[in-house]
């Protein structure tokens, strides 16, 4: 396989994939011993440069430890309009708060999350697990060996992060008002909270099939 053919295939893969691809994944699909992961990285950089200089509405982005084709930010509004907001993930304020705690404190047990928030978190955790924003990463070596949770590649992808190291420094964020924590056991969130919309970054990832994308409604209500 010559380099020109490899470039065409890689460009196609970046456009069609529904998740960020690593150099190793691309090399596995190519099934060639004539190229290395370094060669793949160089070709991806060439493709990225071509899109940047051509004025195309598409570009190659590095996200969640891989690369993927995406639309440029100024195209996001039109795509959401096309799919009737189906590219938007909706999470309640309690779900966003819980997700933030996990992102900064991981690995963390549910009981620790509940202690920080002062409310029971079972329902919220189920929502985050269902949306593949968090996952079980192990067990805590203590009585009962409770499950530990952390964020996922999908979390990085939804928030446009390459790595967790790109999360904003807590010291630079405006501190939240401290909520009084009851001495009793955590209470559940009984009152509905305003639902916050966590749209994907204005860069909308190219999906494998427009038909697939339009058929999946990712709205979340918790």
CA dist., res. 90 & res. 110, Å (int): 22
- Looking at 89-93, 111-115, 150-154, which range is the least confident one? 89-93
Q: Which of 72, 104, 129 is the last residue of a domain?
A: 72
Domain extent for 16: 3-72
> Can you list the alpha helix ranges (DSSP code H) found in the chain?
3-16, 23-30, 37-54, 76-82, 93-105, 110-117, 122-130, 153-158, 210-214
Please indicate, yes or no, if residue 110 is contained in any of the structural domains.
yes
Chain segment 131-175, per-residue pLDDT in tens = 889 999 999 998 889 999 999 988 988 888 888 888 888 777 655
Tell me the pLDDT of the chain averaged across its residues.
79
Q: For the domain that residue 49 is a member of, what is the CATH number?
A: 1.10.10.10
pLDDT at 76 over 70: yes
pLDDT at 92: 85
What is the reported pTM? Answer: 0.58
pLDDT at 166: 83
Please indicate, yes or no, if residue 78 is contained in any of the structural domains.
no
């Amino acid at each position: 396989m010559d380099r020109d053919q490899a470039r065409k295939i890689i460009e196609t893969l970046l456009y069609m994939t529904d998740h960020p691809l690593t150099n190793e994944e691309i090399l596995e699909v190519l099934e060639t011993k004539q190229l290395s992961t370094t060669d793949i990285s160089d070709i991806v950089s060439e493709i990225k440069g071509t899109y940047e200089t051509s004025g195309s509405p598409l570009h190659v982005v590095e996200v969640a430890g891989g690369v993927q084709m995406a639309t440029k930010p100024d195209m996001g509004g039109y795509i959401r309009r096309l799919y009737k907001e189906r590219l938007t993930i909706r999470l309640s304020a309690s779900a966003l708060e819980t997700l933030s705690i996990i992102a900064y404190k991981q690995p963390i047990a549910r009981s620790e999350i509940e202690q920080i928030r002062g409310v029971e978190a079972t329902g919220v955790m189920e929502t985050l697990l269902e949306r593949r924003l968090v996952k079980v990463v192990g067990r805590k070596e203590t009585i009962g060996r409770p499950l530990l949770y952390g964020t996922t590649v999908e979390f990085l992808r939804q928030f446009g992060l390459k790595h967790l190291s790109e999360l904003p420094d807590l010291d630079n964020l405006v501190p939240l008002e401290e909520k009084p924590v009851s001495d009793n056991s955590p209470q559940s969130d009984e009152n509905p909270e305003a639902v916050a919309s966590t749209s994907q970054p204005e860069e909308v990832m190219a999906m494998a099939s427009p038909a697939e994308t339009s058929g999946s409604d990712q709205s979340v209500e918790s």
